[in-house]
Amino acid sequence: MTAQVEAAPELKTAPPARVGFTAVLRSERIKLTSVRSTWWTVVALVVLGAGLTTALCWGNAEWLASGDADEAPGSFITVGMTLAQVCALVLGVLTASSEYGTGMIRTTLAATPVRGRVLLAKAVLVAAVLMVAGTVTALLGYAGGNYFLDREGIGLALEGDVARAMYGSGLFLAGLGVLGVAVGFLVRHTAAAISIVLAQIFVVEALVGLIPGSVGDWAAKLMPGNAGLQIASPTTFIPDMLDPWPAFGVFSLEVAALLVLAWLMLRRRDA
């Protein structure tokens, strides 16, 4: 007696679903807004940025009105952005590097085979958050700082270069956030990436000004922090910088180049 064994039916596997950019963006939004570090960093950005502007306008208003000052009131009305940029860089780095620290990046990239969409989604979200936070911070700093300037008769109207500096602060911080995202993907270690971006902004950019001659002058003008900050200031503390919009163009190209490099490395390296 022979037993008849029926062949098992051939199993057909469906091709993997294509993950669209909208879905990736939604997923990254949930990640960004569900961790406390995002909210603490944004709150610190607003409080420190607006607070520094208000405090320095308060402390220097009388000197600025005395006629002995060698700075214009416009130099102080967005001065808080020099501190807010630290928070913007930190938020950008954390958005990228924190997943490498927890190992979640493997799950993210397995769910999204087109890796560039993950990078782009993180960059878009960070830029959007910091654009809003930067503009709000600048406006709060203007309201607080200009109160003390007005008391001395040197208040600034919210128009022209002052108005440009308000939304320019948002653009500047958005660009710094994207720069932080790029460095986070390149370095893949939170502490190291934060150290690198802060050293670049606060140490390297100060040291290049010590290079003698026109080489040092142009190097200082083209440094990302110096170039980007011009659009966020009605009047710059730093002499002989590029005009605001050309400087922001240079800054944008530098951020874009770093983002492209991060994309190339993300495609080539294992998670």
- For tokens 């910088």, name the residue: 241
pTM for this predicted structure = 0.89
pLDDT tens track for 63-102:
988 878 778 888 899 999 999 999 999 999 999 999 998 8
pLDDT at 143: 96
Residue 239 DSSP one-character state? T
> Contact 79/58 with Cβ under 8 angstroms?
no
Share of residues in the chain with pLDDT > 70 (%): 93
List the alpha helices (DSSP H) in 115-243: 115-151, 160-187, 190-199, 205-207, 213-222, 224-229
DSSP code string of 132-160 = HHHHHHHHHHHHHHHHHHHHTT----SSH
Q: One digit per residue, pLDDT tens: the chain, 271 residues?
A: 455 545 545 545 444 556 788 999 999 999 999 989 999 999 999 999 999 999 999 999 989 888 787 788 888 999 999 999 999 999 999 999 999 988 889 988 888 888 999 999 999 999 999 999 999 999 999 999 999 999 999 999 999 999 999 999 999 999 999 999 999 999 999 999 999 999 999 899 888 878 888 888 888 889 999 999 999 999 877 778 889 999 999 999 999 999 999 999 998 887 6
Output the pLDDT for position 176.
96
DSSP state of 73: G
What is residue 138's predicted lDDT score, i.e. its pLDDT? 97
Please state, in angstroms and as integers, the Cα–Cα distance from residue 258 to each residue in 86, 181, 254, following that order: 18, 10, 6
| Separation between Cα atoms, residue 27 and residue 24, nearest integer Å | 5
On whether the CB atoms of residues 115 and 96 are closer than 8 A, the answer is no
Both tokens assigned to 16: 């993997």
Please, which contacts does 2-8 make with residues 24 or more away whose CB atoms are closer than 8 Å?
none
Predicted local distance difference test score (pLDDT) of residue 271: 66
Q: Could you tell me if 139 and 52 are in contact, meaning their C-beta atoms sit under 8 angstroms apart? A: no
Helix axis angle, 213-222 relative to 244-268, nearest 10°?
Answer: 70
pLDDT the model gives residue 14: 45
